[in-house]
Chains A and B, each alone.
Chain A
Amino acid sequence: MTTCDKTRPRLTAYLDGELADDHGSVVRGHLRECAACRQVARDEAALRDGLRLLPPVDPPASLWGGIQARLAAAEVADARRPLWLRVAERWIRWVRTARFAPTMPQLAAAGVFAAAAVTLLTLRAHRADEPPAPVPLPAPPEQIVRPAPSPSPSPSPGPRPALERTVEAPSADDVVADLLAEPARTTESYGRVVGELMTRAQTERARWSDADRSKFDTRVAELRGEIAHGGQPRSVQRTQRVLINYLQETLTHSRDNVMLASGGPQ
């Protein structure tokens, strides 16, 4: 009988589809019977869906440079260690990884051989008074050639669709990068028109009554709030279109005394 304790550590792999058929079937079977584990699986799936919706973050340019610098420093330190120490460490690693279980005579013979080798190598190493060979240093961060990051939408781009997130653009000129940048471009086009109409509205608002101004400000703030929290670019663009229609209507009715008298911009 599969217990919850055995199932839960496997849930991540199960949700990733990484369990082999029989293991997957066992987990699936347990989930059918256990409401608590089912809830845990559901929560984890929801969390993963939420994470998928987050916009991708480009690492800072200095990150790779830092990693390279640390690698280089480790290599320098490695190169400066005496050879016998490196050989001994390698041998210990090999024994550990190979799960070598030597018999006592084997161990004794190896010990004698190692002692002799270490003595010889130490003597040689101490005789050599030349400095260690120079290790090429990593390029400073600004010189590291990185593939151009995919352009990130400027005004609240929202998460990218799942299919787009999985691809990695080879360069900014590539079709993939262009496709990724497109929603932001469209949002920007709508944003420009909103800006243009808002500028016109600002010059017109002097003619409006206080009530009309207040109503206008409230509605615009409401729509801008929706745009700011819009999420998906499509949803943002939809709200931008509503705002454009509202601004157009307001502006064309702005000098219309009849409309303003009967309630002003809706």
Chain B
Amino acid sequence: MNAAVRRPLIATLARAVMSASTFVLTIGALGLARPAAAQPPRANPETTAARHGASERARLSIEPSGHAFTHLSIENPLGDVKVEGYDGTAVQIESHKFAPDDEALDRLHISLVPNPDGTVSIKTTADGGKEVRPVRRSQVRIDLVIRAPRNARVEAAASSGALEVINMDAGSDLDTASGPISVRNVQGDVLTHSVSGLTRLVQVFGSVDAQTLASDLDLDTIGGERLFASVHRGRIEGRRVRAREVELTATEGRIVLEAEAALRGHLLVSVLNGDVDVQLHRHGAVMVRAHGTKVDLGAPMQSRPNGWVESAFGQVANDAAVVEIRSPQGNVRFAIIESGP
């Protein structure tokens, strides 16, 4: 039977009320099918996903029974995950599966486990067996769009799919292999790790720990106590960064930072092999130390015997911000952007 008419139900909101005990729902059972042409996969259109012959969309909403949902754990190795915070209490999940045919579509599953302690676990899997026809991973896909209470912490893992978290107030812990990570308007501690996915953090108000091995890291409007970011091979670019403790590290790559100095703040930028370019808005005194093949601090510098150069901006006292820049095999450029009076 054609995928388009296999489940000709119109998607309705399936509302599951949590019982006190843990239970598992398979969202696929609540879904409906649409032709792939009508709803092509959102991401990676050039992959074989665009040629999918069957798709299925499902929506599910879970209301808490007692404890509010405080923790969302998502594992989707088969596609994208987007989590958006909102002011409600329910967790609303929209899933979209793609596969070459109905048989392959039926092998894709989403398990949902709401626990009484306020944790909701969502996991996608594909089942198999000797009797089923092999389907390549690039031919199947599950995308998840989740609306969650703002004050739930999000822990999500994807593979080559994109991870996106928006408008959450309790931070997140995100992990991908090659998929991009995007965090926007999130409060609380944010941890991101990716092997080779572009990582972009915008408007994060809390401590940040971001790491990639082979991709760029983009930071925009970061405010919090600490910002730790590192790339092995790639570029770190930060704008409007204001954290008391900032530590940016790259093995091979370039670091470009536009930051604001906090009183008694400490900004440490280190690149083993690459250039560093830091622009700092200052409101008080700043002490800058740098070490590199070629160093330009934008002001008269004092050279130390150990190869470091220093420069002071303003009346340096105990509350001065300290900037340390290391680029043993690269150039260092530093400039102060004077703020208002």
Whether the Cβ atoms of A248 and B130 lie closer than 8 Å is no
- Complex partner residue of B306 from A175, A177, A254, A257, CB under 8 angstroms: A257
Q: How far is the CA of A168 from the CA of B107 in the complex (A)?
A: 12
B288: CB under 8 A from chain A? Answer: no
A214: CB under 8 A from chain B? Answer: no
A119: CB under 8 A from chain B? Answer: no
Whether the Cβ atoms of B126 and A179 lie closer than 8 Å is yes
Q: How far is the CA of A234 from the CA of B77 in the complex (A)?
A: 14
A49: CB under 8 A from chain B? Answer: no
With both beta carbons as reference points, the residue of chain A lying nearest to B247 in the complex is identified as A249
With both beta carbons as reference points, the residue of chain B lying nearest to A192 in the complex is identified as B213
B287: CB under 8 A from chain A? Answer: no
How would residues 169 to 183 of chain A score, 1 for a CB under 8 Å from any chain B CB and 0 otherwise?
111011111110010
Whether the Cβ atoms of B128 and A174 lie closer than 8 Å is yes
Interface size of B in residues (CB-CB distance below 8 Å) = 44
Whether the Cβ atoms of B211 and A175 lie closer than 8 Å is no
Tier of interface size on chain A = 35 or more
Whether the Cβ atoms of A249 and B270 lie closer than 8 Å is yes
Known contacts A244-B232, A258-B308; decide if A176 and B270 are in contact (CB<8 Å).
no
Known contacts A248-B230, A252-B272; decide if A167 and B125 are in contact (CB<8 Å).
yes
- Complex partner residue of A147 from B111, B123, B130, CB under 8 angstroms: B130
A177: which B residues are within 8 A, CB to CB? Answer: 128
A173: which B residues are within 8 A, CB to CB? Answer: 134, 136
How would residues 268 to 279 of chain B score, 1 for a CB under 8 Å from any chain A CB and 0 otherwise?
001110000000
Question: Which residues 23-63 in A have Cβ within 8 Å of B in the complex?
Answer: none
Whether the Cβ atoms of A170 and B129 lie closer than 8 Å is yes
Q: How far is the CA of A194 from the CA of B249 in the complex (A)?
A: 15
B135: CB under 8 A from chain A? Answer: yes
- Complex partner residue of A174 from B136, B250, B251, CB under 8 angstroms: B136
Whether the Cβ atoms of A190 and B128 lie closer than 8 Å is no
CB proximity of B180 to chain A, nearest CB, Å: 16
Q: How far is the CA of A251 from the CA of B270 in the complex (A)?
A: 10
CB proximity of A47 to chain B, nearest CB, Å: 22
Whether the Cβ atoms of B126 and A176 lie closer than 8 Å is yes
Whether the Cβ atoms of A241 and B211 lie closer than 8 Å is yes
Whether the Cβ atoms of A186 and B130 lie closer than 8 Å is no
B92: CB under 8 A from chain A? Answer: no
B306: which A residues are within 8 A, CB to CB? Answer: 257-258
B96: CB under 8 A from chain A? Answer: no
A218: CB under 8 A from chain B? Answer: no
Whether the Cβ atoms of A190 and B132 lie closer than 8 Å is no
Known contacts A171-B134, A182-B77, A249-B270; decide if A193 and B126 are in contact (CB<8 Å).
no
A78: which B residues are within 8 A, CB to CB? Answer: none
- Complex partner residue of B135 from A174, A189, A245, CB under 8 angstroms: A174
Whether the Cβ atoms of B213 and A168 lie closer than 8 Å is no
B291: CB under 8 A from chain A? Answer: yes
Whether the Cβ atoms of A170 and B211 lie closer than 8 Å is no
Whether the Cβ atoms of A168 and B128 lie closer than 8 Å is yes
Question: Which residues 195-223 in A have Cβ within 8 Å of B in the complex?
Answer: 196-197, 200
B195: which A residues are within 8 A, CB to CB? Answer: 186, 189-190
Whether the Cβ atoms of A168 and B135 lie closer than 8 Å is no
How would residues 130 to 149 of chain B score, 1 for a CB under 8 Å from any chain A CB and 0 otherwise?
11111111011000000000
Question: Which residues 208-266 in A have Cβ within 8 Å of B in the complex?
Answer: 234, 237, 241, 244-245, 248-249, 251-258
Whether the Cβ atoms of A251 and B272 lie closer than 8 Å is yes
Whether the Cβ atoms of B111 and A255 lie closer than 8 Å is no
A185: CB under 8 A from chain B? Answer: yes
Whether the Cβ atoms of A185 and B177 lie closer than 8 Å is yes
Q: How far is the CA of A185 from the CA of B176 in the complex (A)?
A: 12
B300: CB under 8 A from chain A? Answer: no
B291: which A residues are within 8 A, CB to CB? Answer: 255-256
- Complex partner residue of A175 from B123, B131, B137, B250, CB under 8 angstroms: B137
Whether the Cβ atoms of A252 and B271 lie closer than 8 Å is yes
B341: CB under 8 A from chain A? Answer: no
- Complex partner residue of B126 from A147, A175, A237, A253, CB under 8 angstroms: A175
Q: How far is the CA of A57 from the CA of B126 in the complex (A)?
A: 21
Whether the Cβ atoms of B127 and A253 lie closer than 8 Å is no
Known contacts A193-B232, A249-B270; decide if A175 and B140 are in contact (CB<8 Å).
yes
Whether the Cβ atoms of A182 and B193 lie closer than 8 Å is no
How would residues 317 to 338 of chain B score, 1 for a CB under 8 Å from any chain A CB and 0 otherwise?
0000000001010000000000
List 6 interface pairs A-B (beta carbons < 8 Å), by A numbering.
Answer: A168-B128, A170-B129, A170-B131, A179-B77, A179-B78, A185-B177
The 3 closest A-B pairs by CB, nearest first: A176-B128, A252-B270, A257-B306
| A interface residues, Cβ below 8 angstroms from B | 147, 163-164, 167-171, 173-179, 182, 185-186, 189-190, 193, 196-197, 200, 234, 237, 241, 244-245, 248-249, 251-258
Other A-B pairs beyond A170-B132, A170-B133, 7, CB < 8 Å: A176-B126, A176-B127, A237-B193, A244-B232, A252-B270, A252-B271, A258-B306
